Amino acid sequence: MAAKEDILPHNSLPRYAQIQKQLEQRLMDGVYPIGSLMPSEQELSAEFNSSRTTIREALRYLRERGYVERRQGVGTRVISDTTRSTYFQSFTSLEELFQVAIDTYYVVMEIKTVALDPELAELVGGLAGEEWVRISGVRWTEAGGKPICYVQSYVPKRCQHVVDPYPDHQGPLFELLERNADATIEEVVQEIRALPMPADFIRQLGLKPGSWSMQLLRRYVTENGVLIASFNWHPADQMTYLMRIHRSREQPAD
Amino acid sequence: MAAKEDILPHNSLPRYAQIQKQLEQRLMDGVYPIGSLMPSEQELSAEFNSSRTTIREALRYLRERGYVERRQGVGTRVISDTTRSTYFQSFTSLEELFQVAIDTYYVVMEIKTVALDPELAELVGGLAGEEWVRISGVRWTEAGGKPICYVQSYVPKRCQHVVDPYPDHQGPLFELLERNADATIEEVVQEIRALPMPADFIRQLGLKPGSWSMQLLRRYVTENGVLIASFNWHPADQMTYLMRIHRSREQPAD
DNA sequence: TGTGTGCAAATGTCCAGACAAGATGTAAGG
DNA sequence: CCTTACATCTTGTCTGGACATTTGCACACA
C-alpha cells in the first residue's frame, strides 16, 4: 500500500500524534473557539484521511489534557479554562511536567522606572515616593512553553547602572548585583502571602479569571540598604508541582 | 448474532470494563504476581472471547492506574508498589510523597467524633451538624525528629468501620478507604490557603507563637460522596524551603 | 568465547465497518 | 398547547483483521 503522506512534514510520529498536535494547535489559535463544538469524528476522519479509530486516539489525548469534553449524542466541545479541571490538567501530564519543570528560561517583559507608593515602599524596603526600577518578566518551561511564575523585581535607582548592561540576564538578579555592585548580602527577608493574581498577570500567563497566587517576596539587604526586592507570583495550582520537584530532587545529593 | 454472555453476572458494564475489573481483581489476588508478565493480548483475547481492541482498552486502564507497565516486544508486566511510577499516587497523597522523599512517620494524636459546624462542613464537603470522625496527627522526620506537618483528616461516620480496625495505620488514609470501602476515587479537590497556625498545633510542633501556615486541603470524592477530607498544616518556613529548592534548580550551575 | 543474524513473539498503530446508546429536533397526535 | 414517537446525528463499544516496531533468544559463525 502506498504510504499516506504525513500531515506534518519531516515527521515520523504516528498519525494519531500528528493529528493530535494539529488539533491542539488549532485550539491554541482559536480555530475552534471555547464553548464550540469541534467537527465530528466522521468529519475529522474525512479531513485527515484517517480512520475513526485514529481520530479517536487523537481526541482521547485532548480530553485527557482537559482541552475538550466529549459527550455521547452531542459531540466534542472545547471547554474553557474556567470549566477545565485543574486536577486532570496537571494530573495527566505528571511525567511530562516533571522534566519540563527543570529546564526553564526567563523572559523580561518590561523595565520601567516607578515611584513607590506607601504600600509598595514597605514591601520592598524603600521610602514612599522614591524611584525604583521595576523589571517584570515571566519564567517559562523550556519544553512546553508553560508559564511557571510571574516575577517582578525592584532595584533602587542607584543600582540601575548595574542591571542596565544586562537586559537579557537569565540568572538570579541578586548575584549580578552582588557581584557588580560590590555589595555583600547581609540579610534575606522572605515572606509568603496568598494573594489574588494581578489582572495583567492573569492575562499574561493565560490563567483563568479570579486566579489567586502564592506570592513569594524576597528582599536582599546589604549594609547600604536594600539591593533588590522581588515578587514571584506562583499560580496556586502550580504549587503542587513545586512539591513534586522537591520530591524528585531529594534523592540525588543536592 | 447471539449476545455474548457477560463476564460478570448481572452486569451491564461494557465488556472492556468488566474485563478490566476482573484483571484488577486477579492482580489483587496475586494471580499475576508482581514482576511477572501477564498473559499476552492474544491470550487474554482468547480467554475472554473478545477482540484485541477490547482487551487493550481494559489494559489501558490498568496501565493508567499504575498497575502494569507495557513494553513493545516484551509484554505487560505487573509492577510493584515501590517500582510503580509515581504517576497516580504522588499526586493524590502528600503523605506518600513525603514518605518517598525523606523518611517520615506519622503519629496519630487523637481520634474523635465531631459534629460539623457550617464552615467546616463546607470545607470537608459534608452537611452542617453531620457527625464525622476526625483523626489528628503529626508527621515527623525519621532522622531529626522534626515535625513536618500537622494533619487532620475527616472521615464520614458511615466509613468509620473502615478506619477503626487500623488505629496505627501509617500509610495514606485514602488508600485504606478506597480499598476497604470498595469505593473509587472519582475526583480530588485541592486547595491551598494561608492561615494562622492553630494554637494547639503550635504547641504540638514546638513553633513560635503567632506562626502561620500553608494549609493544604484535599477532598477525595467518590460517587457516594466525600470519602475523606484532609488538612495539612505546613509551617510557613518549610514552604519557603520548598521554594528555595525550586529556585536553586533553575540555576544548577551555582 | 564473543558476536552478529535472523526468527518469533509481543505491543504499537491503523483500517473499514457494525451496532449500541445518548441527545436533539421535528412532526404527528392527543 | 403539550406530549409522544421518530428520525438523525453524535460518541461509545466492539469486531477481525493488517502491518510496523521493538525486544529477547536461539543459533550459526568467526
**Largest interatomic CA distance in chain B:** 75
The CATH code belonging to domain B89-247 is: 3.40.1410.10
Nearest to B153 by CA among B101, B89, B227, B88: B227
pLDDT at residue A25 is higher than 50: yes
Whether B38 sits with its Cβ under 7 A from any strand C atom: the answer reads yes
Residue A40 sits at φ, ψ, to 5 deg, of -70, 165
Give the Cα separation of A187 and A174 in Å (integer): 12
Task: Give the ipTM of the model, two decimals please.
Answer: 0.48
CB atoms within 10 A of CB A7: 17
Residue-level pLDDT at A113: 87
The region that residue B125 occupies, defined by phi over 0 for left and psi between -120 and 50 for alpha, beta otherwise, is: left
* Per-residue pLDDT reduced to its tens digit, B219-244: 777 767 777 887 777 654 433 322 22
CB atoms within 10 A of CB A77: 17
Residue-level pLDDT at B25: 83
Give the Cα separation of A208 and A165 in Å (integer): 36
Domain A98-250 has CATH 1.10.10.10: no
* Per-residue pLDDT reduced to its tens digit, B170-219: 556 666 666 666 666 655 555 555 555 666 666 666 655 545 556 667 77
* Per-residue pLDDT reduced to its tens digit, B30-76: 888 877 889 999 999 999 999 999 999 999 888 876 678 788 888 98
Mean of the per-residue pLDDT values for chain A? 66
Interface residue B51 vs chain A (CB under 8 A): no
> What is the domain partition of chain B in residue ranges?
15-78, 89-247
Higher per-residue confidence, B69 vs B99: B69
Give the Cα separation of A49 and A51 in Å (integer): 7
Cell 557588580 belongs to A180
Which of A51, A89, A233, A247 to probe by mutation at the B interface, max B CB count within 10 Å? A247
pLDDT at residue B142 is higher than 70: no
Same fold yes or no, A15-84 and A98-250? no
Specify which of A157-171, A228-242, B36-50, B153-167 reaches the highest per-range mean pLDDT.
B36-50
Give the Cα separation of B214 and A57 in Å (integer): 40
Which nucleotides along chain D are within 7 A of a protein C-beta? 9-24
Residue-level pLDDT at A77: 85
Which of A170, A231, A243, A245 to probe by mutation at the B interface, max B CB count within 10 Å? A243
Mean pLDDT of A139-166: 69
Domain A15-84 has CATH 1.20.120.340: no
User: How is chain B split among helix, strand and coil, in percent rounded to 5?
Assistant: 35, 30, 35
Nearest to B131 by CA among B102, B106, B104, B160: B160
Mean pLDDT of A165-191: 62
CATH architecture of B15-78: Orthogonal Bundle (1.10)
In the sheet where A131-141 sits, what is the strand order? A104-115, A131-141, A147-156, A225-235, A212-222, A187-196
Percent of chain B with pLDDT over 70: 48
